């Protein structure tokens, strides 16, 4: 007989989320341990005291695990405990080492994986930033938008009419007042005491970001900030050289890409929704030019890390990409 541990978290205490989380966790345990429902003898479930709207054992029964014994209990309130957490202990027929499963924010419960980083690299418009935000939300860890940091440097250069030469850019890097703050769970970018989170998304700032990020003095300054943040907590980072230069020892690495036509359409839709006039042909040409600039620059060029999983999002929805990456992370855990 095998005893298989597992845990997961939910975003809020509601029956729908409990049903979905329990079904996901038990089906993952079943799949990873090559079990059939008939192999499962008993499932013990417990939940933190902040979960009261629905019994996890009832969710397990509704998910199809009704032929085994089900027990459910509420855990005592413990200061500092992971909130909104559901734990399971599955007893099943069979031999061999059990494969324990920890999903979402419960990955932090792993004794061998207390803090971890997820690196998402890829070209502009591949969808990596959107995926990174959703992934971080699902995993209940921090999302660090590294691209916003380079965009802020580019905005500073534009506003000060800084020439794109080494001495001028180095002087800008030494004096720049850049802060990354988190408000309401979202990252905000502050430059010289002003929130520029929207300003840095302008098209001209995007092009300038590619140019200014080619300077080693800028990259060294930004990488130092990024590493400091990643050293303090689990996080998802997206960029162009996260897995190769910024966090080469990241536990999970992915290279997210898509063809240039698809990326132009995505970026065009985003800009149109913000009120900008969009020329898709010109936008695709700019994206391809940026790809060339990012891939050929001397310092930390855009490239896939040798141990990064390739994810082509051209024909995938955002939800499919997030699910695929979460599955790959769980396989490695």
Residues placed in the known binding site for ATP: 122-130
* Residue set of the binding site: 122-130
Q: Please name the residue ranges forming H helices in the chain.
A: 15-32, 56-62, 128-139, 146-159, 166-175, 203-212, 216-232, 260-273, 280-296, 318-332
The 3-class SS string of 271-287 reads HHHCCCCCCHHHHHHHH
Query: Taking the mean position of all CA atoms in its chain, how far away is CA 155?
Result: 25
Q: What is the DSSP string of 135-174?
A: HHHHHT-EEEEHHHHHHHHHHHHHHTT--SSHHHHHHHHH
Dihedral (CA of 253, 8, 11, 230) sign = negative
């Amino acid at each position: 007989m095998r005893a298989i541990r597992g845990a997961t978290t939910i975003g809020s205490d509601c029956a729908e989320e409990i049903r979905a989380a329990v079904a996901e966790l038990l089906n993952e345990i079943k799949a990873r341990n090559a079990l059939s429902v008939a192999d499962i003898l008993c499932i013990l479930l417990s939940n933190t005291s902040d979960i009261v709207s629905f019994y996890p054992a009832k969710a397990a029964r509704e998910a199809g695990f009704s032929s085994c014994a089900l027990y459910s209990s509420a855990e005592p309130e413990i200061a500092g405990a992971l909130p909104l957490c559901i734990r399971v202990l599955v007893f099943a027929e069979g031999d061999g080492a059990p494969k324990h499963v920890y999903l979402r924010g419960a990955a932090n419960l792993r004794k061998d994986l207390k803090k971890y980083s997820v690196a998402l690299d890829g070209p502009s418009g591949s969808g990596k930033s959107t995926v990174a935000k959703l992934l971080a939300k699902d995993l209940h860890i921090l999302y660090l938008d590294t691209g916003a940091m380079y965009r802020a440097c580019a905005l500073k250069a534009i506003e000060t009419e800084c020439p794109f030469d080494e001495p001028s850019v180095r002087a800008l890097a030494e004096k720049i007042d850049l802060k990354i703050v988190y408000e309401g769970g979202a990252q905000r970018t502050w430059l010289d005491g002003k929130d520029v989170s929207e300003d840095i998304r302008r098209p001209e700032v995007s092009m300038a970001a590619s140019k200014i990020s080619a300077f080693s003095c800028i990259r060294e300054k930004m990488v130092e900030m990024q590493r400091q943040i990643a050293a303090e907590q689990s996080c998802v980072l997206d960029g162009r050289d996260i897995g190769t230069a910024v966090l080469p020892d990241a536990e999970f690495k992915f290279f997210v890409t898509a063809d240039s036509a698809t990326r132009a359409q995505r970026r065009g839709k985003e800009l149109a929704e913000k009120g900008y006039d969009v020329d898709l042909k010109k936008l695709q040409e700019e994206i391809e030019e940026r790809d060339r600039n990012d891939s050929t620059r001397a310092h930390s060029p855009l490239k896939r890390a040798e141990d990064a999983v390739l994810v082509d999002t051209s024909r995938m929805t955002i939800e499919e990409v997030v699910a695929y990456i979460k599955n790959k992370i769980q396989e490695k855990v």
